[in-house]
Chains A and B, each alone.
Chain A
Amino acid sequence: MTDEGPRSIAPADGTAADTQGIKIVGFLCNWCSYGGADTAGVCRFKQPTDLRVVRIPCTGRMDPLFIAKSLIYGVDGVLVSGCHPRDCHYAVGNFYARRRMEAFKAFLPFMGIDTRRFKYTWVSASEGQQWQKVVTEFSEQIHELGPNPGVRRQTGENSKVSTGLR
C-alpha cells in the first residue's frame, strides 16, 4: 500500500478505506456513544478507518475550543456524539452541548471552515448499527470535501491552554 494523499473510500460493507492523509477526530461521551462504537465493534460492523476517538465523560464537557483547535490545526473533520436528549448520564449535559455546538456551528464560516466538516449526533450504547452509519456517512462526506485547506500548523507548546492545573 502506498502512502500518497487521500484516497477514495470503500463501500460500507467493505473494509478498507485508506485514509492516509484524511484525519477525523471523534469526541464521544463515555456512557452512550463510546459504548455505541464499542457495540459496533463487538458486532463487527465494518467502518472506514479515518476516525480517531477521544473519550470524554459527557458531551457537556465539550468545549467548542476543542473543535476549533482540531479544525484550525490540521484535522479534516470533527464528529461529536453523545447520549440522546433526555438520556444523559448526567441528566442535562447533552442539552448544554447541543446549545453550545449549535451556536459554535454558526461561527465556523467566520473562521474560514466549511460547516460540513463538523457534525454532532446522538447515538446510544445499544445503537451499533446507527454508529456504523454515522461514521460511514461522515467519513464519506469528509473524503468528498478532501483535506482541510484552512489548516495552520502549530508549534508544540503554544497549543496548550494554560490553566495552571493539570
Chain B
Amino acid sequence: MRIGVFVCSCGTNIAGTVDTKRVASEALSFADVVYATNYMYTCSEPGQQEIQKAITEHGLQGVVVAACSPRMHEPTFRRAVEKAGLNRYMFEMANIREHVSWIGTDKEANTRKALDLVRMAVAKLRFNAPLFSSKAPVNKRLLVIGGGVAGIQAALDCAEGGMDVVMVERKQYIGGKMAKLDKTFPTIDCSSCILGPKMVDVSQNEKITLYAASQIESINGYIGNFTVDIRKKATYVNWDACTGCGACVEKCPSKKAEDYFNEGLGQARAINIPFPQAIPKKAAIDAQFCRQLNGKKCGVCAKICPVKAIDFEMKDTIVTEKVGAIIVATGYDLFDYSVYGEYGGGRYPDVISGIQYERILSASGPFGGHIRRPSDGREPKDIVFISCVGSRDASVGRPYCSGICCMYIAKQAILTKDHMPESNSYVFYMDIRSPGKNYDEFVRRAQEEYGVQYIRGRVGKIYQRGDRMVVQGADTLLGVQVEVEADLVVLATGVESSSGAGELAEKLRISYDQYGFYMESHPKLRPVETNTAGVYLAGACQGPKDIPSSVAQGSAAASKVQSLFAHDTIETNPQVALVNERNCIACGKCIQVCPFGAIQWKELRGGIKKAEVLQTVCQGCGVCNATCPPKAIQLQHATDNQILAEVNELCA
C-alpha cells in the first residue's frame, strides 16, 4: 500500500508542543509510507487540496492525517480523500492535539508520543479495506418526545414543512413549564398569550398526531427507520368522546386531589381538566383520588357526562408508530427546596418556590391572579426572593448555574410591584447573571424603576416570628448581618434534569452528563445532534435554558430533521460485522449476545447453518466479534487484525 502522512501544526495548537516537522520526516521511515509532509492548517481548503494533490501525484492508496480528534474532523477528511478518488475508509487519523499537544508541555515526550500514534495509525491503515454503504429508505415521519415550548416549536416547524409528526407528552396537557408561567421576561408579555396559539396549532394541525398522557415504552431501529412503542396511560375518560365541557369536574365529590398544575397550592378534583386553555382539553381521572376506582360507590361523573365518555374499566394501551427521526424535548424539573432545611421550604406555608409564585401571579392560578399568601390568604406586603436555591452549590450536587433564576426573580419582583404598588421586594443574590439580549437592562429596571432592593449575600436562616417570616443573612457588600421581616418568601429553585431522563436516554441510546442533562454531539458545532444518528435535542433537556433559547433549539432541531428528510434514502454505515462462513462453527454465541438482534441463521446447501449479519440492523458495537470463539465474525474497520496492528506497533 502507498501511504501518505499529513501532520498538521494547527497553527501553534499542535506545533507549540510537538515537533510536527520531525513527526513528518520520521514518518517517512514507517512501512509503506511513501509521502509525508507537515502543514499549517490541514483542515483548511488549501490543506485539503494538498492532500488531494498528493493522492494523485504520489498514487497514494491510503492517507493518515495526524491532527485533532477524529471526533472532530474525521468526516471532513474522509470527504476530502473521497473527492480525490480514494475510498473514505482508506483513511486514518492520529489524534495529536487533544491527546498530545494540549495535555503535555514536554515537547520531546510529546513528539515521541505523536510519532507512536502516527505509527499506530499507519499500521492500522495497512489492514484497512474499502467499505461501501448501501442505501436504506427514510421514513419521513418525526417523533417529538415532550410537549413543552421546545417540542411544540420543533413539531410545528416540521409540520409546516409538510412532514408528519407524532408528539408524545407524558402529562395530560402540552405546554410544559411555560404553560404555568404568568408573564415572561424580558418583555413581560403574557405566557399563555404567546404559547396558547401554538398549543392550539398543535391540536389543529392535521400533520400532528398528539399522544398526551403517554410515555415511550420502547424504541428500536436506526436513523430513518425507528419503531416506537407508546404507552397510552389509562385516563378513564374516552378522549375521542370527551368534549372538555367540564361538567364532570364540577360534580366530582372527591375534592382533595393533588393540584399538580397549581404546584400543590390549591386542590383539584379527582377528575380534572388542569386549566381552561389546556390542550388537549380533555378530562382525566387521577386514580389515586377517585372513589369509584378505590372500591367506593360513586360514579357521579359517569352519570353526569353528556357524551358517556367515562370508562372505569380503561387500561393502558400500547400503540406502535414508525418514524425516521426523533427530537427529544423533555425539558427540566426543579430542585427540591426542602433540601435546604434552614430555609424551611415545605415546613412553612409562606416559604414557596418560584414556580409556585408564578401560579399565584397567574390569572388562571389558585387565587385568580391576586397575590395572596398560602397560609392565611392575606395579601403580603414585604416579599423576599432568594436566588440560587439549588444552583451553584457543590454541597448539594448542583455546581452549575440554572441561568434563568436571576431573570425570573427580577420579573416576579417587577410584577409584584405592578400588582401591589405599596409592597416592598427584596432579593438576596450571589451574583446577577443576565447576559441575554435586553436582560441586564431588565434587571436594572427592577432595581432602578421598581425599587427592588438587591442584597448581595447568602441567607443563613429563615424562621417564623408571629405570622411573619424572618430572613437572616449577610450583606457581603456592606459586610453586615441583615434581617428582613417578610410576609412571603420565594425561593428561586434551580433547574435540574427531568425526572426519568436517564431511563429515556437508555431507550434512545443517547448519553447524559453527570446531572442528567442530555449530551449534544459537540458542545459548539453540533449543539442539537446526539451521538445517535437520527436523534436530536431541543430545549432544557440538554441543559438549563430560557424560552428564547429553547425555541431557537426547537427550530434548529427541526431544520436538522428537515435536511435529513430532504433525502429519500440514507447511506447505511458500512462499519458492521461480517461473518466469514468458512470459519463459522455455528455455535450461535453471536446471535445470543447481539444487543440488536442483528444476527440470524442462514441455511446453506445441504442444510448447513451459518451466522449471518443483517447489515441494516447491525449497529457496529463489536460485541459479537469479541464473543465469537473462532473469530469468524469480524467488525469491519475494527477487525482483530486492525486493532492488534495498532497494539503490535507499540510492542515492537
Tell me, in angstroms, the Cα distance from A154 to B117 when the chains sit together. 20
User: Which one of B72, B95, B580 contacts A163 once the chains associate, using CB atoms below 8 Å?
Assistant: B580
Rounded to whole Å, the gap between the CB of B503 and the closest CB of chain A is 9
User: Which one of A61, A74, A124 contacts B511 once the chains associate, using CB atoms below 8 Å?
Assistant: A124
User: Which one of A40, A63, A91, A127 contacts B506 once the chains associate, using CB atoms below 8 Å?
Assistant: A91
A49 and B110 in contact, given A73-B651, A89-B531, A91-B595 (Cβ under 8 angstroms): yes
Check A120 for interface membership: any CB of B closer than 8 A: no
**B595 with A34: CB separation less than 8 A:** no
User: Which one of A15, A38, A83, A96 contacts B105 once the chains associate, using CB atoms below 8 Å?
Assistant: A15
Chain A positions within 8 Å of B627 at CB level:
96
Tell me, in angstroms, the Cα distance from A16 to B69 when the chains sit together. 22
Question: Top 9 nearest A-B pairs by Cβ distance?
Answer: A41-B98, A61-B622, A16-B106, A90-B621, A60-B623, A74-B651, A15-B105, A73-B651, A41-B102
Q: What bracket does the count of chain A residues touching chain B fall in? A: 35 or more
Check A81 for interface membership: any CB of B closer than 8 A: no
Tell me, in angstroms, the Cα distance from A128 to B642 when the chains sit together. 28
Check A18 for interface membership: any CB of B closer than 8 A: yes
Against A, the Cβ 8 Å flags (1 = close, 0 = not) of B39-76 are 00000000000000000000000000000011110000
Check B177 for interface membership: any CB of A closer than 8 A: no
**B106 with A18: CB separation less than 8 A:** yes
Tell me, in angstroms, the Cα distance from A164 to B581 when the chains sit together. 10
Check B395 for interface membership: any CB of A closer than 8 A: no
- Interface pairs (28), CB distance under 8 Å: A18-B108, A19-B112, A20-B112, A25-B650, A30-B71, A37-B99, A38-B95, A41-B99, A46-B104, A49-B112, A53-B99, A65-B640, A66-B643, A74-B650, A87-B506, A88-B509, A89-B509, A91-B596, A93-B622, A124-B519, A154-B651, A160-B645, A160-B648, A161-B631, A163-B639, A165-B580, A166-B127, A166-B639
Check B635 for interface membership: any CB of A closer than 8 A: yes
**A96 with B100: CB separation less than 8 A:** no
Closest Cβ neighbor of A69 among chain B residues: B647
**B644 with A66: CB separation less than 8 A:** yes
**B506 with A52: CB separation less than 8 A:** no
A37 and B648 in contact, given A47-B104, A124-B514 (Cβ under 8 angstroms): no
Tell me, in angstroms, the Cα distance from A16 to B363 when the chains sit together. 64
Check A44 for interface membership: any CB of B closer than 8 A: yes
Closest Cβ neighbor of B112 among chain A residues: A20
Check A79 for interface membership: any CB of B closer than 8 A: no
Check B420 for interface membership: any CB of A closer than 8 A: no
**A37 with B98: CB separation less than 8 A:** yes
Check A125 for interface membership: any CB of B closer than 8 A: yes
**A25 with B635: CB separation less than 8 A:** no
Q: What bracket does the count of chain B residues touching chain A fall in? A: 35 or more
Tell me, in angstroms, the Cα distance from A160 to B123 when the chains sit together. 12
Against A, the Cβ 8 Å flags (1 = close, 0 = not) of B72-98 are 100000000000000000000001011
**A41 with B69: CB separation less than 8 A:** yes
**A54 with B643: CB separation less than 8 A:** yes
Rounded to whole Å, the gap between the CB of A65 and the closest CB of chain B is 8
Tell me, in angstroms, the Cα distance from A32 to B512 when the chains sit together. 10
Check B248 for interface membership: any CB of A closer than 8 A: no
Closest Cβ neighbor of A74 among chain B residues: B651
Rounded to whole Å, the gap between the CB of B40 and the closest CB of chain A is 20
Check B172 for interface membership: any CB of A closer than 8 A: no
**A165 with B638: CB separation less than 8 A:** no
Tell me, in angstroms, the Cα distance from A87 to B112 when the chains sit together. 34
Against B, the Cβ 8 Å flags (1 = close, 0 = not) of A28-58 are 0011101101101110111111011111111
Chain A positions within 8 Å of B622 at CB level:
56-58, 60-61, 93
Rounded to whole Å, the gap between the CB of A161 and the closest CB of chain B is 5
Tell me, in angstroms, the Cα distance from A143 to B366 when the chains sit together. 66
**B635 with A161: CB separation less than 8 A:** no
Check A92 for interface membership: any CB of B closer than 8 A: yes
Closest Cβ neighbor of B69 among chain A residues: A38
Chain A positions within 8 Å of B506 at CB level:
86-87, 91
Closest Cβ neighbor of B619 among chain A residues: A90
A91 and B513 in contact, given A41-B99, A165-B634 (Cβ under 8 angstroms): no
Interface set, chain A 116-166, CB cutoff 8 A to B: 124-127, 132, 154, 156, 159-161, 163-166
Check B569 for interface membership: any CB of A closer than 8 A: no
Tell me, in angstroms, the Cα distance from A62 to B113 when the chains sit together. 23
Tell me, in angstroms, the Cα distance from A57 to B631 when the chains sit together. 17
Closest Cβ neighbor of A41 among chain B residues: B98
Closest Cβ neighbor of A56 among chain B residues: B638
Rounded to whole Å, the gap between the CB of A82 and the closest CB of chain B is 11
User: Which one of B72, B640, B650 contacts A63 once the chains associate, using CB atoms below 8 Å?
Assistant: B640
Given known contacts A73-B651, A156-B648, what 20 new A-B pairs fall within 8 Å (CB)?
Answer: A20-B112, A38-B71, A44-B103, A47-B104, A52-B113, A53-B117, A56-B643, A61-B623, A69-B648, A74-B651, A90-B623, A93-B595, A96-B626, A124-B519, A127-B514, A159-B644, A159-B648, A163-B631, A164-B582, A165-B639
Chain B positions within 8 Å of A161 at CB level:
631, 640-641, 644
**A57 with B129: CB separation less than 8 A:** no
Closest Cβ neighbor of A37 among chain B residues: B99
**A163 with B640: CB separation less than 8 A:** yes
**A52 with B120: CB separation less than 8 A:** yes
**A70 with B531: CB separation less than 8 A:** no
Rounded to whole Å, the gap between the CB of A25 and the closest CB of chain B is 6
Chain B positions within 8 Å of A92 at CB level:
595, 623
Chain A positions within 8 Å of B580 at CB level:
163-165
Check B116 for interface membership: any CB of A closer than 8 A: yes
Tell me, in angstroms, the Cα distance from A15 to B70 when the chains sit together. 24
Tell me, in angstroms, the Cα distance from A75 to B519 when the chains sit together. 34
Chain B positions within 8 Å of A113 at CB level:
none
Tell me, in angstroms, the Cα distance from A53 to B259 when the chains sit together. 54
Of B98, B105, B129, B620, chain A has the most CB atoms within 10 Å of the CB of B98
Interface set, chain B 108-136, CB cutoff 8 A to A: 108-110, 112-113, 116-117, 120, 127-129
Rounded to whole Å, the gap between the CB of B180 and the closest CB of chain A is 30
Chain A positions within 8 Å of B634 at CB level:
163, 165
Tell me, in angstroms, the Cα distance from A98 to B638 when the chains sit together. 20
**B99 with A166: CB separation less than 8 A:** no
**A41 with B514: CB separation less than 8 A:** no
Chain A positions within 8 Å of B102 at CB level:
41-42, 44
Rounded to whole Å, the gap between the CB of A52 and the closest CB of chain B is 5
Closest Cβ neighbor of A131 among chain B residues: B103
Interface set, chain B 583-635, CB cutoff 8 A to A: 583, 593, 595-596, 619-623, 625-627, 631-632, 634-635
Rounded to whole Å, the gap between the CB of A144 and the closest CB of chain B is 19
Rounded to whole Å, the gap between the CB of A104 and the closest CB of chain B is 11
Tell me, in angstroms, the Cα distance from A34 to B94 when the chains sit together. 13
Rounded to whole Å, the gap between the CB of B73 and the closest CB of chain A is 12
Tell me, in angstroms, the Cα distance from A12 to B623 when the chains sit together. 35
**A49 with B106: CB separation less than 8 A:** yes
Tell me, in angstroms, the Cα distance from A124 to B102 when the chains sit together. 19
Check A105 for interface membership: any CB of B closer than 8 A: no
**B641 with A49: CB separation less than 8 A:** no
Rounded to whole Å, the gap between the CB of B515 and the closest CB of chain A is 9
**A60 with B112: CB separation less than 8 A:** no
